Amino acid sequence: MRIVDLLTRGRPTVSFEFMAPRDETEVEVLEKTVATLAGHAPDWVSVTYRLRTGEKTLELVTRIKRHYHIEAMAHLTCANSRDETRRILNWMEREGVANVLALRGDPPGPGEPFQPADPELKHGSDLVAFVRGNGYRLGIGAACSAEKHPESPDLEHEFRYLRLKVEAGADFLITQMFFDNRFYFDLVARARAAGITVPIVPGLMPVPSRRSLAFVTQMSGATVPDALQAEIDAAADDDAIRRLGVDHCIKQCVQLLEAGVPGLHFYTFNRARAPIEILGTLRGQQLLAS
């Protein structure tokens, strides 16, 4: 099933992002997280792509679909040549994968430039156009930022690429994580005013620790509200910070659901505890179907 059909059915979806394992030492943790969260009735999930372990991404996507009967979407980046990209897309269709998240991909490290594998696949919009233009029947998702990405000179530059992805054929968008809902609402308002009608799914991450927060804000450009940052600074330890992160994310979700968002997409970092607590509260308040 195409994910866009789930997003337009009239009730909000719940989805999780899983990170493809970097090596064998991470496989067991990931497998436990997938099994645990599968029991909490997600509508769909996505699996990130790593060039070095790309086959594991594809294997995990098909395993989730077949074993747990959950719609699973593979991330795909501009880290491959056009021929290799075709090979991967052909494999997806052959194995029954119905959706792909077309991304440019991350640079090697903070401050380093991204190096595309093919001069004609430099941006996420190029990959969207490649998938759509080559006749693949896949549903296509793309990423966007609610705030200015560290690599973008300004929000207008960011919004221009959002439009290009939609014009190239993206069925829906998922935002980078944000901690202040005003950025999401502003993005949606701008998109609708520009005639962009595809679903825009908010991407959410409950703060797990000071170290993790510093890393993700540096990579994504997300800002932390002053009140939340003050509470984090005053927290005694990471367990207290984790509790603050869960509580703040619940408040975000409540406001987003009351505003009628098409779904909630949680960046799990392959940990199940926080998403389970958040969903338990939202379902207890009857804001989400059980």
pLDDT at 68: 93
pLDDT at 50: 66
Instruction: Based on the residue annotation, tell me whether 167 is a catalytic residue of this protein.
Output: no
pLDDT at 85: 94
Domain boundaries, the chain: 3-283
Single out the catalytic residue among 17, 71, 147, 158. 17
CATH 3.20.20.220 for the 3-283 domain, yes or no: yes
pLDDT at 79: 87
d(CA 150, CA 123): 16
Task: Kindly give the confidence (pLDDT) of every residue in the chain, 290 residues in length, as a single tens digit, with 9 standing for 90 and above.
Answer: 999 999 999 999 999 999 887 777 777 888 899 999 999 999 999 999 765 555 667 888 998 999 999 999 999 999 889 999 999 999 999 999 999 999 998 765 666 677 778 889 999 999 999 999 999 999 999 999 999 877 777 888 889 999 999 999 999 999 999 999 999 999 999 999 999 999 999 999 999 999 889 888 888 889 999 999 999 999 999 999 999 999 999 999 999 999 999 999 999 999 999 999 999 999 999 999 87
DSSP for the chain reads --HHHHHTSSS-EEEEEEPPPSSGGGHHHHHHHHHHHHTT--SEEEE---STTHHHHHHHHHHIIIII--EEEEEE-TTS-HHHHHHHHHHHHHHT--EEEE-----SSTTPPP--SSTT--SHHHHHHHHHHTT---EEEEEE-SS--TT-SSHHHHHHHHHHHHHHT-SEEEEEE-S-HHHHHHHHHHHHHTT--S-EEEEE-----HHHHHHHHHHH-----HHHHHHHHH-SSHHHHHHHHHHHHHHHHHHHHHTT-SEEEEE-TT--HHHHHHHHHHHHTTSS--
